[in-house]
Structure 1
């Protein structure tokens, strides 16, 4: 049997294991159920991939994240390791073929969602595989107190009955003590060996700044730290706006969100990975499988939903061990906005029931039918038709996805079909009169010889490559041909695919999951309150607060967070600056930046004094963010 280090060197070209990896691998190889809490960037995948390669048979990996499964399978294949992922949207015949490959094709990894294990026939096929290890990734999903509870995870423990001698390896990056206990109990693990890597990231300075002008603060931070940076925002619109504003300020910036095509995502990601862009402005869709060691700064300009997500996103900085910054910029209105974004959009049982019934009607699913049916779905159109608020509806659909009632696949694709309506000789005549369009039209005709007889599914990137024209140029020609009646052209944008995993049963469907909805809503409120406490607390080390949240007791302050820095600074006498500000405001109303320029003081000092003057009722702040003397 090959040594673990030899496997690591052969496939990953690393000469040493990271902290706890070797110990976890040894525990699994000894046949022990094993629980591992390893914060983001700790190298969890190595802990099951190496022992699986050392033993005969195949490793079963249960994961809730389609993107992560695809990413890991692609990475394994790039290393010459055979892996398969049974993701949503795969037809039954394909699944049968894939499972045949697992049984007879010398595959080493089978990735499945927990919902797949609820299909008896799939479970029967898996029982016949030579399983050498069962890995439960994102194991916090088994806990009702976790930030991503999925009831399908509760069924994983049944694998113990079928594979009593095969070790379970439960992996998670974020688990409070209550969640950890739940994981071990609900998975039915037998006296598991437990490994917990400290949540402390001693090289990351957690900074919280209350500012009026966030863009100005970002500009200061990025100029001071010109290395690769990530800015997290809450929505796609902010991605575009902040990226554009940064470019106007002279920064090389790009953006990333779930609404981009795969091609756009890859292109923008590569710009940042290759450091042709200093900054990538992103929603939380960005980050899966990202391991760029030299990220210097991660900036959040809106409050995160919970500490778990914040810790994971902030932890994408400083993976090379050098000092890095996790910056959270806040303003007084952020708490109200966060409540509006995270709490007011939570669906209650009545809304969930109404939305589910309307969804079934919208897709024309009769009572008692719908199982395994697949539908293209446009969320905005659905919400507009029934007058539903978009975000609340999205959350309700995500909840049903989490419960395994439906599978919600966000595709964001444009599907084009076309057919030529006029005879071929007329098309040739048109190209002779329009020579600029000739190359594109001839490429289409050569690629799709039957395009005169039937509507052909049109591959835009392929035609762009063959004709040596941009996709925009090809679309312009297609629109022109369509307007002239030369072709019949259809373009359909789908932002999602819905797969129904159960028959429609209206109240019965919703009633069986409503208790989970109530508990989940309560948990989300608790979690947001923890974020608000983290921001509002002015007298505690920020690193210590994060460690305490995850049940890890810190005895000393970190020395580098925003609180520790203020404590280390010698106390200043701000009376002179206070008098200067009061004198300036006698003549005109000013913003904090204007005051900073006129007094030649640092932004931090000016903001500190302004806050003191506001608290002492000497000033008021107007709607235009200018300060004026209180009369």
Structure 2
């Protein structure tokens, strides 16, 4: 296959060429050659390839792909494929991401693929302003409310080389960006992301990624991001290796329903499979953590460690206010490099993070909606092994569980 080469490669030029089947075939060929050069990837899924072709063809695209599907790989491969097709180009993709932990994780993953990536305000500002990074990550607040980064986007190097805008975990755009029933929004900047389109050059495509968005929410996303005639790639969130259970929890003895976890920790220690217990608030997270700690006694520590070292704790806690060392301990453990086996957490743990060996997800109290159930349950079984998601029953839990996510 011969690539279609341009003297000056821009999204506008690409948009003019997308009607040609040669361009689509050329992108697919470049994708194949890039994958052949990456040892850690043998192939990508059909939906990933389709999304990448559409994005590099300068089309807006909304991808609703299951947890663990590999959504991030679409934009991580984008600069490599662009460089393969246009060796003299300097492609830059800006990534809007909701959480620092997510950005840090995605930068590590992109670097493994040979992609240069950085986060606003963390790396060398001079290199950043010179367009030395292919993926530039930042929060919506950083992109929209910091004059330094706004001016950078308006600079010639960015105006000429930005090839796309990526909004990761886009379901938070309306959940966090729009207030409910007259209440102020949690993070108002999420509702203003369409402003980015007025700063970059006309025709720059937007790639919106999420694991959970029902039909109404998909329309919300396209409106908020001013996506015109957006292509939609939708894959069912059903994960056949996850068994979803609805269990009863007596109102006055609710925390005791977790005693089976206490028994498992006491019997197996670090040999037990990993469990995440999602709670609705920081206070509830702390309650669950301290209950498990009290019930386990000396078994709370690996081999009943007499020194009670924090890195020998078998139970962890994770929420927005958890200190950085403990957050790192939990994340490292869930990635197989620490002793923690059970984590009581808010949804601050998990968004966009890939923990391969979670055998059980416990939803201790019903999530806010069916999209949240999909997000939380989807943390289990990413290694393909039969796994379980347990939602402890209250009156509203049944209604949530059986509401259609279409």
Shared fold (TM-score, shorter chain, > 0.5): yes
Based on CA coordinates, which of the two structures has the bigger radius of gyration? 1
Shift of 1:255: 0.5
User: Structure 1 126/280 Cα, relative in aligned 2: closer, same or farther at 3 Å?
Assistant: same
Aligned counterparts, 1:91-102, within 5 A: 98=125, 100-102=126-128
Count of aligned positions: 335
1:114 is aligned to 140
Contact 1:146-1:175 within 8 A present in 2 as well: no
How far 1:103 moved relative to its partner?
4.1
State the partner residue of 1:139: 170
- 1:62 corresponds to: 96
What is aligned with 1:151? 188
Report deviation, 1:47.
1.0
Rounded Cα–Cα distance in structure 2 between residues aligned with 1:19 and 1:313:
25
1:40 aligns with 2:49: no
* Residue matched to 2:371: 308
Once residues 59 and 198 of structure 1 are traced to their aligned partners in structure 2, the CA distance between those partners, rounded to angstroms, is: 27
* Residue 32 of structure 1, CA deviation: 1.3
Shift of 1:6: 3.8
Does residue 323 of structure 1 match 2:366?
no
Deviation digits for residues 165-195 of structure 1 (CA, Å, limit 9, x no counterpart)? 2211111222121111111122221211110
Structure 1 residue aligned with 2:336? 274
**1:533 is the counterpart of 2:396:** no
Aligned to 1:50: 77
Distance 2:324 2:137 in 1: 22
Structure 2 counterparts to residues 581-600 of structure 1, below 5 A = none
Partner of 1:176: 214
Match 1:228 to one of 263, 274, 278: 274
Shift of 1:229: 2.3
Question: Residues 171-250 of structure 1 correspond to what in structure 2 (within 5 A)?
Answer: 171-212=209-250, 213-219=256-262, 226-233=272-279, 234-246=284-296
1:433-448 matches, cutoff 5 A: none
Q: Is the Cα–Cα contact under 8 Å of residues 120 and 137 in structure 2 kept in the other structure?
A: yes
Q: 1:329 to 1:32 in 2, by over 3 A?
A: same
- 5+ residue gaps, structure 1, are 336-528, 535-541, 552-631
Aligned partner of residue 171 in structure 2, secondary structure: helix
- Contact kept, 8 Å, 1:211 with 1:217, in 2: the verdict is no
2:201 aligned partner: 163
Q: Is the 8 A contact 1:52 1:133 kept in 2?
A: no
- The answer on whether the counterparts of 1:141 and 1:147 sit within 8 Å (CA) in structure 2 is no
* 248 and 289 in structure 1: CA distance in 2 versus 1, 3 angstrom threshold: farther
SS at match of 1:133: strand
TM-superposed deviation, 1:262: 2.3
What's the TM-score once normalised by structure 1's chain length?
Answer: 0.48
Note the C-alpha offset of 1:533. Answer: 2.1
Q: Is the 8 A contact 2:316 2:340 kept in 1?
A: no
Superposed CA offset, 1:468-503 (max 9, x none):
xxxxxxxxxxxxxxxxxxxxxxxxxxxxxxxxxxxx
| Partner Cα separation in structure 1 for residue 213 and residue 39 of structure 2 | 28
Deviation for aligned residue 1:275: 7.3
Partner Cα separation in structure 1 for residue 139 and residue 215 of structure 2: 25
- When residues 158 and 289 of structure 1 are mapped into structure 2, their CA distance, relative to the original with a 3 A threshold, is closer
2:16 corresponds to: none
How far is 1:27 from its partner? Answer: 1.1
Q: Which residue of 2 aligns with 1:83?
A: 117
Alignment of 1:420-431 (within 5 A): none
CA–CA separation in structure 2 for the residues paired with 1:256 and 1:24: 36
Return the offset for 1:248: 5.4
Give 1:9 deviation, angstroms: 5.1
Alpha-carbon distance in structure 1 between the residues aligned to 2:192 and 2:376: 30
Report Cα offsets for 1:518-551 as digits up to 9, x if no partner. xxxxxxxxxxx5x4624xxxxxxx5xx26x1x21
SS in 1 for 2:140: coil
RMSD of the TM alignment (CA)?
3.3
CA distance in 1, matches of 2:238, 2:134: 34
Cα displacement string for residues 6-63 of structure 1 (whole angstroms, at most 9, x for unaligned residues):
4345457110113511111111122211111123222111111111222232101112
Give the structure 2 partner of residue 594 of structure 1.
none
Determine helix, strand or coil for the equivalent of 2:165: strand
TM-score, normalised via structure 2 length = 0.71
**SS of equivalent residue, structure 1 residue 31:** coil
